[in-house]
Chains A and B, each alone.
Chain A
Amino acid sequence: MSGKAKNKNNDIASLGEDYATKYGFHDPVDYFHKGAKGLNHEVVEMISRMKNEPRWMSDIRHEALDIFVSKPMPKWGSTDMLAEIDFDNIYYFMKPIDSKKDSWDDVPDYIKNTFDKLGIPEAEQKFLGGVSAQYESEVVYHSMKENLKKQGIIFLDMDSALREHPEIVREYFGSVIPAMDNKFSALNTAVWSGGSFIYVPPGIDVSAPLQAYFRINAENMGQFERTLIIADKGSRIHYIEGCTAPVYSSNSLHTAVVEVIAKEDASIRYTTIQNWARNIFNLVTKRASVYKNGTVEWVDGNMGSRLTMKYPCIQLLGEGARGEILSVAFAGTGQHQDAGAKVIHAAPNTSSRITSKSISKDNGRASYRGLVKVYKNAHGTKTSVECDALLIGDNARSDTYPTMEIDNDQVKVEHEARVSKVAEDQLFYLTSRGLSEDDARLLIVNGFMEPFTKELPLEYAVELNRLLELEMEGGVG
Chain B
Amino acid sequence: MTDNKTLFEFKDIHVEVEGKEIVSGVSLSIAPGEVHAIMGPNGSGKSSLSNALMGHPSYTITKGRASLDGKDILPMAADERSRAGLYLAFQYPLAIPGVTVANFMRAALQSHRGKDADMSDFRKLFKAEMKALNIDLSFATRYLNDGFSGGEKKRIEILQMSMLNPKMALLDETDSGLDIDALKVVSEGINRFQNNEKGLLLVTHYQRLLNYVKPDQVHIMMHGKLVKTGGPELALKLEELGYDWVEEELKAGAGA
A, B in one complex: yes
Q: Which residues of B contact A148 (CB under 8 A)?
A: none
Give the docked Cα–Cα distance between A30 and B178 (Å). Answer: 72
**Which residue of chain A has its CB nearest to the CB of B97?**
A447
Q: What 0/1 readout, one digit per residue, does chain B (130-161) give for beta carbons within 8 Å of chain A?
A: 00000000000001000000000000000010
For residue B28, give the distance in angstroms from its CB to the closest CB of chain A. 20
Q: Which residues of B sit under 8 angstroms from A431, Cβ to Cβ?
A: 55, 77-79, 82
Within 8 A of A (CB), among B102-117: 103-104, 107-108, 111-112
User: Is A57 an interface position by the 8 A CB rule?
Assistant: no
Q: Which of B87, B93, B97, B112 contacts A429 (CB 8 A)?
A: B93
Assuming the contacts A424-B58, A428-B57, A447-B143, asked whether A433 and B96 have C-beta atoms less than 8 A apart, the reply is no
Of A425, A443, A449, which is within 8 A of B94 by CB?
A: A425
Contact call A448/B97, Cβ cutoff below 8 A: yes
Whether B98 is near chain A, meaning CB under 8 Å from some CB there, is yes
Query: Are A432 and B58 in contact, CB atoms less than 8 angstroms apart?
Result: no
Which of A34-42, A46-54, A231-239, A434-442 lies at the interface? A434-442
Per-position binary interface string of chain A over residues 436-476, scored 1 when its CB falls under 8 Å from any chain B CB and 0 otherwise: 11011001101111110000000000000000000000000
B107:A435 contact, CB within 8 angstroms:
yes
Is residue B227 contacting chain A, with contact meaning CB distance below 8 A? no
Interface residues of B in 30-63 (CB under 8 A from A): 54-58
Per DSSP, chain A at the interface is helix
A426 at the B interface (CB under 8 A): yes
Task: Determine whether the beta carbon of B99 is less than 8 Å from that of A443.
Answer: yes
Query: Is A435 a contact of B93 with CB atoms below 8 Å?
Result: no
Contact status A436-B111, CB under 8 Å: yes
> Of the candidates A423, A435, A437, A449, which one forms a contact with B98 in the assembled complex, judged by CB atoms under 8 Å apart?
A449
Q: At the interface, yes or no: B83 with Cβ under 8 Å from chain A?
A: yes
Shortest distance in angstroms between B134's beta carbon and chain A's nearest beta carbon? 22
Judge if A430 is at the interface, Cβ distance under 8 Å: yes
Residue from A430, A432, A436, A448 within 8 A of B54 (CB atoms): A432
**What per-residue 1/0 map shows which CB atoms of A124-160 lie under 8 Å from chain B?**
0000000000000000000000000000000000000
Instruction: Give the contacting residue for B96; candidates A426, A436, A437; CB below 8 A.
Output: A426
Q: Is the CB of A439 within 8 A of B98?
A: no
Interface-centre pick from B97, B98, B112, B164 (highest chain A CB count, 10 A): B98
| Nearest-neighbor residue (CB-CB) of B95 within chain A | A426
A432's partner among B55, B104, B112 (CB-CB below 8 A) is: B55
B193 at the interface (CB under 8 A from A): no
Q: Which residues of A contact B96 (CB under 8 A)?
A: 426, 429-430, 443-444, 447
Q: Give Cα distance in the complex from A446 to B104, angstroms.
A: 11
Contacts of A432 in B (CB 8 A): 54-56, 78-79, 81-82, 87-88
A425 to chain B, nearest CB (A): 6
Does B243 sit within 8 A of A, measured CB to CB? Answer: no
Question: In the complex, are the beta carbons of A434 and B56 less than 8 A apart?
Answer: no
Neighbouring A residues of B78 by C-beta, 8 Å: 428, 431-432
Report the interface size class on chain B: 20 to 34
Contact digits for B69-87, partner A, Cβ 8 Å, 1 yes 0 no:
0000000011101110001
Q: How far is the CA of A448 from the CA of B93 in the complex (A)?
A: 18
Contacts of A429 in B (CB 8 A): 90, 93-94, 96
For A447, give its contact among B55, B87, B99, B164 (CB under 8 Å): B99
Instruction: Judge whether B77 and A439 touch: CB under 8 Å.
Output: no
**Cβ-closest chain A residue relative to B94:** A429
A437–B90 touching, CB < 8 Å:
no
Given contacts A428-B78, A431-B77, A432-B78, contact A439 B94 (CB under 8 A): no
Q: Is the CB of A443 within 8 A of B79?
A: no
Q: Which residue of B lies closest to A452 (CB)?
A: B98
Minimum CB distance partner of A420 in chain B: B97
Contacts of A423 in B (CB 8 A): 94
- Choose one: A426, A434, A449, A450; the contact of B79 (CB below 8 Å): A434
How far does the alpha carbon of A279 sit from the alpha carbon of B143 in the complex, in Å?
37
Contact B79 A435 (CB under 8 A): yes
Contacts of B56 in A (CB 8 A): 428, 432
Q: Are A446 and B79 in contact (CB under 8 A)?
A: no
- Select A446's contact among B54, B77, B98, B164, beta carbons within 8 Å: B98
**What sequence of 0s and 1s flags, for each residue 168-179 of chain B, a beta carbon within 8 Å of any chain A beta carbon?**
000000000000
Docked-complex contact A444 and B108, CB < 8 angstroms: no
Return the contact of B164 from the options A426, A433, A444, A448 (Cβ within 8 A): A433
User: Within the complex, what minimum Cβ distance (angstroms) separates A201 from chain B?
Assistant: 39
Query: What chain B residues lie within 8 Å of A448 (beta carbons)?
Result: 97-98
- Closest-by-CB residue of B relative to A451 is B98
- For window 220-242 of B, CB contacts with A under 8 Å fall at none
Q: B104 touching A443 by the CB < 8 A rule? A: yes
Question: Which of A423, A429, A434, A450: most chain B Cβ within 10 A?
Answer: A434
Determine the chain B residues whose CB is within 8 A of the CB of A434 once the complex forms: 79, 82-83, 108, 111-112, 164
Closest A-chain residue to B92, C-beta based?
A: A425
Contacts of B112 in A (CB 8 A): 434
The answer to whether A435 and B108 touch across the interface, beta carbons within 8 angstroms, is: yes
- Chain B, Cβ-Cβ closest to A433: B108
Determine how close the nearest CB of chain B comes to the CB of A465; give it in whole angstroms.
11
Q: How far in angstroms is the closest Cβ of chain A from B104?
A: 7
* B98 & A447 in contact (Cβ 8 Å cutoff): yes
- A443–B111 CA distance with the chains assembled, in angstroms: 13
Q: Which residue of B lies closest to A428 (CB)?
A: B56
Q: Are B111 and A450 in contact (CB under 8 A)?
A: no
Bound complex: CA of A368 vs CA of B189, how far in Å? 47
Distance to closest chain A CB from B245 (angstroms):
35
Q: 16 A-B Cβ contacts within 8 A? A: A426-B94, A429-B90, A431-B77, A432-B54, A432-B79, A433-B164, A434-B79, A434-B108, A443-B107, A444-B96, A447-B99, A448-B98, A449-B98, A450-B99, A450-B143, A451-B98
Give the 3 A-B CB pairs with smallest separation, nearest first.
A447-B98, A450-B98, A447-B99
- Give A residues with C-beta under 8 Å from B: 423-426, 428-437, 439-440, 443-444, 446-451
Apart from A435-B79, A448-B98: 9 A-B pairs, beta carbons within 8 A: A423-B94, A431-B78, A432-B54, A433-B104, A435-B108, A436-B111, A440-B79, A443-B99, A448-B97
